[in-house]
Structure 1
Amino acid sequence: MFPGPELYAAVLFLTVLPAAYLIRAVWSRLDRPSGRWLVVTLVGMSGWSVSWALMLLFEGYRLSLWSFNVVVLFASVTTIGWLFVTIEYTWQKQVEHRIVAPFLIVPAVVQVLIWTNPFHELVWRPGTFVDAQGVLHPVHGLGFYLHIGYSYLLVVAGLVLLTVAFVEREGLYRKQAFLLLLGGFIPTVFPIAFVFGMIPTDYLNPTPLGFLLGTSIWGWALFRYQLLKTVPVARRMVLAEMSEGVLIVDDGNVVTDANDALHEMFDLESDPTGKPLESVLEPYEGLRSLIQSGTFSDERITVELNGEPRHLTVSKSSVTHDGGTGGWVLVFNDRTALFRYEEDLELLKGVLARVLRHDIRNKLNVIRAHGELLAQQTDGQHAKQARTVVQTSDAVIETAEKAKAIESLVEADRPLYDTDLVHVAGRTVDWATEQYPDVDIEFDAPDQAWVRADERLALGIRSLVENGIEHNDSDAPMVRVAIERTDDTVTLTVDDNGSGIDRYEQRVFEGEAVDQLNHSTGLGLWLVNWVVRNSNGATTVTQTETGTRFVVTLERRFPSESRAVDACESEPGSR
């Protein structure tokens, strides 16, 4: 017992409600791949259901035929929308209008044939009639078969794309692809059952019920598995966007994929896909030898590309499949500009080092010697000016020495040594007491405190003490150095009673950018920063009620594990 046409028409009207709800949910995601085309598909499904319902309600031949023509229109809307849902979902980008336009040609031709059918009868042949229940019984012509064939071609193409996506993807994205595929497959099967006479009642076309099931499944994918919200990054798109050249080979060393950057980097005249790796890299003997080894990362090699030497870094990683190696991924990065910059930088460092350590120092020693001589041979204002020359020369020479130390501190992978911080800081305090007799210098420390630190630690401590003395504008300058131990760390605290530290000086320890307007006034604090950073320690600077406090925290070591470093012995007082 089947419902009558009017009752079935009412059911078809109700099937539109879930689609309308889903359209509302998708509307906020129209800018995502597949979003707008899913709306088009749902509109096509809804229009199909409403038009078929109207055909059942209309009694006259003309209105029933008109409704059937509109069914064909919405069927085309549905299939085109479905195809581009799958294309954008698998490509993960919105397609341009110029790509869509060719797909509209056949539906446009079919619509012209349908609405001009009385003149040629290529869609509905003679013998088409409406029965007593208002159901149209068409006799199909060539134009209708063109519509059916084209529609199923689009539907099957979309199903194939999603099947491939389902096979290739994993986890959440595989579930998305499966539900999208299932929701499109069910409405495809239902019309086939109707066309081949498997439904005993002519008006009971189950296609809208297939739409209802498909819409429900898509709604599940939308809300449960974040369809159109959480989307997979397409492998092809990633490869295309990479600036590095990528070459993928199988376990037989046959190239299976290569991106555009690789084509451009090696100026390949043809697609290397399907060719043996040896033949693709035949002009580059050194490169062929390198990749014959196992996996490696960022190996440097120089090859001649386009007639000039290029410096590349090459990485090789394995692709595993079912517990075994299924191939290799080679990544080529052209570092020519960076390597040349490094070479120029090393040359510049060498030139500056020679100028600072040799040329300028020698000339300053000459100036200093003449200043001392003038100070001894003159008196009064002239002697005072001569002593200023000597002091300024000493300051510049000391700056050059600090620059020399910093040059070594910025090198990577510097070794660390076990050092008695109490011994090093104590020698620094002794030196400062002798050099600055007018400054009250206090020292509070345990018997010993071993730390893991850079060999330039003594120079860093000296710079902190000097900073507290030389920038102290108090009438009775005071500097206090204290060392405290915890279970895991040792802290060195340097307090002064000056007017405080400038904000620009604090930025040295905060990693902020330095420019011509915002920078430290000397190299001392930079030297402290690099020494502590190389020692895997930390430095904090705070303003206190009486002045400025520097706190350096280092890793603690223990006497049974430790060995003093001679290099730390020579820093205080050396010049």
Structure 2
Amino acid sequence: MPLGVSWLAIAHFGTGVAILGLLGPVWSFRSRPGAQLWAGVVVLMAATTFAFGASLLVFDQGLRLLFEMAALTTLLWTAVFFLSFALTYTGRAHLLHSWWVRCLVVAQGVGTALLLSNPVHRLLWTNFRLDPVLGSATVLYDKEPLLFAVAGVTYLVVGIGIVVLVETVASYGPSYRRQAVAIATTPLFPIVASLIWLLGIGPYPQLNLVALSFLPHLTLDVYALFGRDMFELPPGLRRAGERAALDELGSPVFIVADDGRVIDANAAAVRMFDVDPDPALGRPLDDLLGQDLAMAAEEQRVDLLVGGERQTFKLVFSPFETRSGLHGGFTVIMQDVTAEIQRKQRLEVLNRILRHNLRNDLNVVQLHAQELELTLTDPERRGHAAAIEDISDELVDLGEKARWAAQALEDASYHSVSLRDVLDDVVRDVRANHPDARVDLDVGASVTLHTDPEVLTLVFTSVLENAIEHNEEGEPQVTVTADDGDPDSLRIQVRDDGPGIPEHERRVIEDGGETALDHGSGVGLWLIHWGVTLLGGDVAFEVAQSGTTVSIRLPTTGGPRSE
């Protein structure tokens, strides 16, 4: 078997060694998504290059045919590994089991079988012959149409991988535009080289330089994938994180196209509505839920039968745009508000009982107590009647305060308000109810807020009454000051000379809830907390031996705080 040494073969071996050297950058990231498949791509490209290089040294036609088939076989499967890498790296590994990827793999398998059995059926090429050039064992053969079909499938497999990578890298933003261009450019080298060989273009149609084109192809890939640490933070991890976050949501979420067809659904949606994800894709969400949805609205409430139970959902529609700025569709978040509605209904009933039934009954109790106090002659019994009347008065007042609070907190309306005007009215009413108390107001007439005056009145009435009613001094003293040094917020401080708010009362507010063992003695502090929170501010209590300071911060351009 005559052997010839040529610079062309040496170039192939040198290229193969250089390609294997590109395994280095990926080694430290071998546990990352797609890294092992990338190593497989590099190894197959190197194997193809070494096979082509070795074939250029073999002048025995039979053995030369074996090297040619080996090189072409590794070339076909390099494309398969490249597509697998692209899908895994970009977080689409689940598509490896899709029907269309399986079809492409089967097509490459059929191409491989045809290639290896060509000496028998001659469907891919005929007239295989040695035609040395440049001192190398190059060959010529007559290419049949089926060989072009096999090459076309290989181009398709590589092209899909390139599109997937370019789309993902481009999504990283303008700073990765060069990497996207590099990935889009890389297939040009092997594609052009293979087309020149397939079509027999140029003075040496027997030269196949596809293997040599791998070096610039892989070099650009390495720059694109490693030049900006994109293997340290691969999109597959980001996509997996996004998917996990979506699936971890307890609420069902649907992603729908502009025409209302389902694009994606999270695990909660699949589980709650017992739908198969694949058949659900492409179906109108209206049909899936059995409801006419108005996605142009920000939200919609629907009643659905889930697991044999009637449940109420609030659907929140959030439009999203494509990267080109066009409207792409909607994210539909379904919040189960059944318990919330039932709780609201119970509260409305209890509130009605508190406002009407209990108040009416207490009025009857008051009348009887007053009658007893007038008719009884025994001082001790008259005292009991007076105590009943006083407690009844307190309960009626508490009911009125609860009614006022419920209405104010429910129907808040925001506009520009003079803080001094609001506080003047509050102080006047408090002084009328507590004539022995002294309330000093040190607030400028020019201080204004964009807020709800009714809620503001509720808050400061509660603060002042709490300071006075829990003060055991004969003449309680309260001072109200305002600091408008911050253009974005206003701090109002209310200082009293009372014993201070008990620590367990403050802890209940700070913890955000009451228990059977740890609770407050009234609603005053809760009204302060609810009102200030609704106005977008915060409240703090500072207790000292000299009294309590309630510090309230409110935004000057406020509005209702979103829950």
Same fold (TM over 0.5): yes
**Distance in 1 (alpha carbons) for counterparts of 2:31 and 2:470:** 62
**Hey, what does 2:481 align to over in structure 1?**
483
Partner AA of 2:506 in structure 1: E
**Hey, what does 1:571 align to over in structure 2?**
none
**Hey, what does 1:549 align to over in structure 2?**
549
Which of 205, 208, 211 does residue 208 from structure 1 map onto? 211
Q: Between the two proteins, what is the percent identity of the paired residues? A: 20
**Distance in 1 (alpha carbons) for counterparts of 2:383 and 2:37:** 87
**Distance in 1 (alpha carbons) for counterparts of 2:549 and 2:79:** 74
**Hey, what does 2:560 align to over in structure 1?**
none
Shift of 1:523: 1.6
Partner AA of 2:209 in structure 1: P
Moved more, 354-363 or 543-552: 543-552
Instruction: Say if 2:186 and 2:216, in contact at 8 Å, map to a contact too.
Output: yes
Shift of 1:389: 3.3
Matched, 1:46 2:43: no
TM-score (norm 1): 0.66
**Hey, what does 1:267 align to over in structure 2?**
none
Counterparts of residues 316-327 of structure 1 (less than 5 Å) = none
Give the SS at the match of 2:499: coil
Counterparts of residues 233-248 of structure 1 (less than 5 Å) = 243=253, 246=256, 248=258
**Hey, what does 1:20 align to over in structure 2?**
23
Shift of 1:7: 3.0
**Distance in 2 (alpha carbons) for counterparts of 1:8 and 1:186:** 16
Question: Any gaps of 5 or more consecutive residues in structure 2?
Answer: 274-278, 558-563
Instruction: Say if 2:35 and 2:89, in contact at 8 Å, map to a contact too.
Output: no
Q: Pick closer, same or farther for the CA change 1:312–1:97 going to 2, 3 Å.
A: closer
Moved more, 118-127 or 145-154: 118-127
List per-residue Cα deviations over 1:93-113 (Å, max 9, x = no partner). Answer: 542446555444454456567
**Hey, what does 2:225 align to over in structure 1?**
222
Q: Pick closer, same or farther for the CA change 1:476–1:221 going to 2, 3 Å.
A: farther
**Hey, what does 1:564 align to over in structure 2?**
none
Counterparts of residues 66-85 of structure 1 (less than 5 Å) = 67-85=67-85
Instruction: Say if 1:15 and 1:208, in contact at 8 Å, map to a contact too.
Output: no
List per-residue Cα deviations over 1:240-293 (Å, max 9, x = no partner). Answer: 9994584536xxxxx9x665789x9xxxxx9999x9xxxx9xx99x99xx99xx
Counterparts of residues 410-489 of structure 1 (less than 5 Å) = 410-416=409-415, 417-419=417-419, 420-427=421-428, 430-431=431-432, 433-434=434-435, 443=440, 445=442, 451-452=448-449, 453-469=452-468, 480-486=478-484, 489=490
Partner AA of 1:480 in structure 2: V
Matched, 1:354 2:357: no
Partner AA of 1:363 in structure 2: D
Partner AA of 2:425 in structure 1: V
Shift of 1:78: 0.8
Shift of 1:469: 4.8
Give the SS at the match of 1:492: strand
Instruction: Say if 1:135 and 1:203, in contact at 8 Å, map to a contact too.
Output: no
**Distance in 1 (alpha carbons) for counterparts of 2:138 and 2:395:** 104
Instruction: Say if 1:402 and 1:527, in contact at 8 Å, map to a contact too.
Output: no
Instruction: Say if 1:312 and 1:336, in contact at 8 Å, map to a contact too.
Output: yes
Give the SS at the match of 1:414: coil
**Distance in 2 (alpha carbons) for counterparts of 1:226 and 1:132:** 44
Instruction: Say if 1:82 and 1:155, in contact at 8 Å, map to a contact too.
Output: no
Shift of 1:432: 6.1
**Distance in 2 (alpha carbons) for counterparts of 1:243 and 1:525:** 38
Partner AA of 1:514 in structure 2: G
Instruction: Say if 1:59 and 1:134, in contact at 8 Å, map to a contact too.
Output: no
Shift of 1:404: 0.6
Shift of 1:443: 3.2
**Hey, what does 1:560 align to over in structure 2?**
none
Q: Pick closer, same or farther for the CA change 1:70–1:151 going to 2, 3 Å.
A: same
Counterparts of residues 176-187 of structure 1 (less than 5 Å) = 177-187=180-190
**Distance in 1 (alpha carbons) for counterparts of 2:447 and 2:124:** 96
Give the count of matched residue pairs: 514
Instruction: Say if 1:56 and 1:135, in contact at 8 Å, map to a contact too.
Output: yes
**Distance in 2 (alpha carbons) for counterparts of 1:245 and 1:111:** 40
**Hey, what does 2:14 align to over in structure 1?**
11
Shift of 1:174: 6.5
Question: Any gaps of 5 or more consecutive residues in structure 1?
Answer: 250-254, 265-269, 558-575
Shift of 1:51: 3.0
Shift of 1:343: 7.1
For the aligned residue pairs, the C-alpha RMSD in angstroms reads 5.7
Give the SS at the match of 1:47: helix
Shift of 1:369: 3.7
Shift of 1:360: 0.3
Counterparts of residues 144-163 of structure 1 (less than 5 Å) = 149-159=149-159, 162=162
Instruction: Say if 1:248 and 1:258, in contact at 8 Å, map to a contact too.
Output: no
**Distance in 2 (alpha carbons) for counterparts of 1:13 and 1:432:** 95
Instruction: Say if 1:83 and 1:155, in contact at 8 Å, map to a contact too.
Output: no
Q: Pick closer, same or farther for the CA change 1:150–1:85 going to 2, 3 Å.
A: farther
Shift of 1:64: 5.9
**Hey, what does 1:401 align to over in structure 2?**
400
Partner AA of 2:354 in structure 1: L
Shift of 1:463: 1.9
Shift of 1:60: 7.5
Shift of 1:197: 4.7
**Distance in 2 (alpha carbons) for counterparts of 1:321 and 1:79:** 29
**Distance in 2 (alpha carbons) for counterparts of 1:11 and 1:272:** 50
Partner AA of 1:522 in structure 2: G
Instruction: Say if 2:369 and 2:386, in contact at 8 Å, map to a contact too.
Output: yes
Instruction: Say if 1:51 and 1:68, in contact at 8 Å, map to a contact too.
Output: yes
**Distance in 2 (alpha carbons) for counterparts of 1:136 and 1:321:** 51
Partner AA of 2:484 in structure 1: T
**Hey, what does 2:365 align to over in structure 1?**
367
List per-residue Cα deviations over 1:331-357 (Å, max 9, x = no partner). Answer: 69698975x878767755553343112
Partner AA of 1:29 in structure 2: R
